[in-house]
Amino acid sequence: MPQDEHKEGIGGMMNPTRYGIERVAYLLMRLSGLGLLAYFVAHIYETSNILRGQVGWNEFLELTQTTEGHLFLAIVIAMCVFHTVNGIRVMLGHGGVGVGKPARPDYPYDPASQNYRHKIGIYSSIVLAAVAAMYGLAVMFGE
Amino acid sequence: MRESTIMKIHYGTALAAVALVAVHILMRLTQNFAESLEYESVLANYKFIPYAIMLELILILLAVHGFNGLRVILIELKQGRIYEKAVSYGCLAAMIGLIAYGSRTIIMTNMGLV
Amino acid sequence: MAQVSSTSNEQSSTAKSITLKISRYNPEHDESSQFMEFNVKYEKWTTVLEAILDVKKHFDHSVAVRYSCRQATCGSCGMIINGKPRLACFTKISELDSDVVTVEPMNNFPVIRDLAVKFEKLFDSHQKIKPYLIRDDTELVSDEKEFLQTPEEVEQYIQFANCIKCGLCNSACPTMATDSSFVGPQALAQAYRYVADSRDKGKDSRLKIIDDSHGIWRCHFAGSCSQVCPKGVDPAMGIQLLRGYMLGFRS
């Protein structure tokens, strides 16, 4: 056990099981952000193949237009939608919008900032991400 | 730069990118998905100047937002003056590099240098 | 290191029993922490702190635990109870709904011994945000009245004045789990407490202090701090409202 600061570490930071859906959203936001950045870099590289002319472009397109490629893209769509919708929720929250008003707390002290508006926002972003991924799969595999 | 300024840029780039990426994705759906990825179709997109400008903006917005997000995650993982400077400058360099690489594709294709 | 013991001879017949697992660690000579197990009888009203004190009284007086008021006022007995930061004096064993109660020192605080942790960094961060009223007129002239506030003005900050500096919020915070330079939810909520006080004039200086690379922007609104606060302070709300000033949502 690293006793100097006794920090929980990455394992503790990433553990989504103890503090409700807000902590799950926090983890998904990070993971989707990293995933989208990786995809973005790959996408810039992918599209640069257009400089290799039609043959080069088609060669690269063949690599990505596969079942695995489509499934990967569906995950990217889900990450993108979740990161966007949840990001807007978080951004509003960061501005103090929808986090409740200060008031004398009463036992059992349910925190006003963890209210139904934000919970609905989180669940909506998860549902919308799933719907968008399915729509993406329908478009990609429907052709 | 103050952290508040950086984070305001972070939020601003996010909002702007959402709008432009939505247009970018919707453009894929104006025609058959496979057709939209065909060489001639993509080339036409790049040669259409307003669209090329939009791609360039998306490139800049997402690179700034993405690499600042990465910087935030990395400086929260480990601390130290040298490490944090390395992370900040590393992310800045990666951001500039990616923008330069992506811009090269957009500009060369738009100018018909393919 | 496991020890099974019982306090059955001193408890009433209505008492049930649990296994109390206590994390033992002395940084001076232990390589790592180990759990000691004790069989402890409890009543409906028995708190985790009382169970630990029972162990100290009957089995092992060397168990290190910090406590004082036993009524969630002093903020001394924060620890990880069954995986979550809680006050031992404010947590009834019967409410945990488990036959095994595990107690560990709070995360993100250096361990002194067993369940006692160092609070220096928490107090330093608290001090850093200037937790007092800042005014230009430092001395009151004798015939002046006190600073009157309307009930609405008091409502703006009174919730945040309930903070007992127990450190549970810092222990639950995901940023604090990895970022030792982060100012933390406790100090940030206190910054809001003073900024929101109509008598205070130190908003600009406090916002400047927390506007650094390990300041308020490292809060990602995960809300874990608010979920564990035993006094209903809701640090997450305070932090977001404070950030509202910096983003121009509030003036």
Residues C48/C72, Cβ–Cβ less than 8 Å: no
Domain span at residue C169 reads 120-247
Q: What is the number of alpha carbons within 13 Å of residue C139 lying toward its C-beta?
A: 2
Chain B residues with CB-CB distance to C211 below 8 A: 2-4
Among C117, C142, C160, identify where a domain stops.
Answer: C117
Residue C107 belongs to a domain with what CATH number? 3.10.20.30
Asked if the C-beta of B8 comes within 8 angstroms of chain C's C-beta atoms, the answer is: yes
Sheet with C84-87, strands from edge to edge, namely C34-42, C16-24, C100-104, C78-81, C84-87
Name the nearest CA neighbour of A105 among C233, C62, B24: C233
Whole-number average pLDDT of chain A: 94
Residues C53 and C138 in one domain: no
Q: How confident is the model at residue B10 (pLDDT cuts 50, 70, 90)?
A: very high
Whole-number average pLDDT of chain B: 95
Q: Calculate how close chain C gets to B79, using CA atoms only, in Å.
A: 7
Number of structural domains, chain C?
2
Virtual CA dihedral for B8, B11, B16, B20, nearest 10 degrees?
Answer: 150
The pLDDT value recorded for residue C15 is: 79
Chain B residues with CB-CB distance to A139 below 8 A: 29, 33
- 3-state SS track over chain A: CCCCCCCCHHHHHHCCCCCHHHHHHHHHHHHHHHHHHHHHHHHHHHHHHHHHHHHHHHHHHHHHCCHHHHHHHHHHHHHHHHHHHHHHHHHHHHCCCCCCCCCCCCCCCCCCCCCHHHHHHHHHHHHHHHHHHHHHHHHHHCC
The verdict on residue C106 lying in a domain is yes
Residues B47/B110, Cβ–Cβ less than 8 Å: yes
Is there a contact between C181 and B79 if contact means CB atoms under 8 Å apart?
yes
Is there a contact between B3 and C217 if contact means CB atoms under 8 Å apart?
yes
Once rounded to an integer, what is the mean pLDDT over residues C216-229? Answer: 97
Largest CA distance in chain A: 69
Is there a contact between C233 and A105 if contact means CB atoms under 8 Å apart?
yes
Cβ neighbours for B55, distance < 8 A, ≥ 6 positions apart: B24, B45, B46, B106
Cβ neighbours for A41, distance < 8 A, ≥ 6 positions apart: B98
Once rounded to an integer, what is the mean pLDDT over residues B63-80? Answer: 97
Residues C221/A13, Cβ–Cβ less than 8 Å: no
Residue B23 belongs to a domain with what CATH number? 1.20.1300
Residues C223 and C125 in one domain: yes
Residue A68 belongs to a domain with what CATH number? 1.20.1300.10
Among C93, C117, C141, identify where a domain stops.
Answer: C117
Q: Does residue A108 have a pLDDT over 80?
A: yes
pLDDT in tens, C139-190: 666 666 678 899 999 999 999 999 999 999 999 999 999 999 999 999 999 9
The verdict on residue C135 lying in a domain is yes
Written as one string, the DSSP assignment of C28-78 is TT-SS-EEEEEEEEE-TT-BHHHHHHHHHHHT-TT-----SSSSSSS---E
Asked if the C-beta of A57 comes within 8 angstroms of chain B's C-beta atoms, the answer is: yes
Q: How far is CA B107 from CA C145, C208, C247, in A?
A: 71, 42, 36
Chain B nearest-CA residue for C183? B76
Asked if the C-beta of C77 comes within 8 angstroms of chain A's C-beta atoms, the answer is: no
The verdict on residue C2 lying in a domain is no
Is there a contact between A41 and B98 if contact means CB atoms under 8 Å apart?
yes
- The predicted complex's ipTM stands at 0.95
| A2-16, C74-88, C230-244: the lowest-pLDDT one | A2-16
pLDDT in tens, A55-106: 999 999 898 889 999 999 999 999 999 999 999 999 999 999 999 999 999 9
C146: enclosing H helix or E strand: none
The verdict on residue C176 lying in a domain is yes
Query: Which of A10, A94, A109 is closest, CB to CB, to C221?
Result: A94
Residues C128 and C242 in one domain: yes
Once rounded to an integer, what is the mean pLDDT over residues B41-66? Answer: 96
Residues C111 and C124 in one domain: no
Residues C198/C112, Cβ–Cβ less than 8 Å: no
Number of structural domains, chain A?
1
Residues C113 and C201 in one domain: no
The verdict on residue C191 lying in a domain is yes
pLDDT in tens, C12-62: 557 799 999 999 999 999 999 999 999 999 999 999 999 999 999 999 999
Whether this model's pTM surpasses 0.90 = yes
Once rounded to an integer, what is the mean pLDDT over residues C210-217? Answer: 96
Phi-psi group of C123: left, alpha or beta (phi > 0 → left; psi -120 to 50 → alpha; rest → beta)? alpha
> Rounded CA gap, C20 and A44, in Å?
56
Asked if the C-beta of A80 comes within 8 angstroms of chain B's C-beta atoms, the answer is: yes
> Rounded CA gap, C154 and C197, in Å?
7
Chain C residues with CB-CB distance to B79 below 8 A: 179-181, 214
Side chain identity, residue B114: V
Asked if the C-beta of C129 comes within 8 angstroms of chain A's C-beta atoms, the answer is: no
How many helices, marked H, and strands, marked E, lie in chain C?
9, 7
The verdict on residue C3 lying in a domain is no
Number of structural domains, chain B?
1
Residue of C237, C242, C250, C251 to mutate for A, most A C-beta atoms under 10 A: C237
Chain B residues with CB-CB distance to A143 below 8 A: 32-34
Residues C18/C4, Cβ–Cβ less than 8 Å: no
Q: Calculate how close chain C gets to A123, using CA atoms only, in Å.
A: 15
Domain span at residue B36 reads 3-110
The pLDDT value recorded for residue B38 is: 92
Q: Does residue C138 have a pLDDT over 70?
A: no
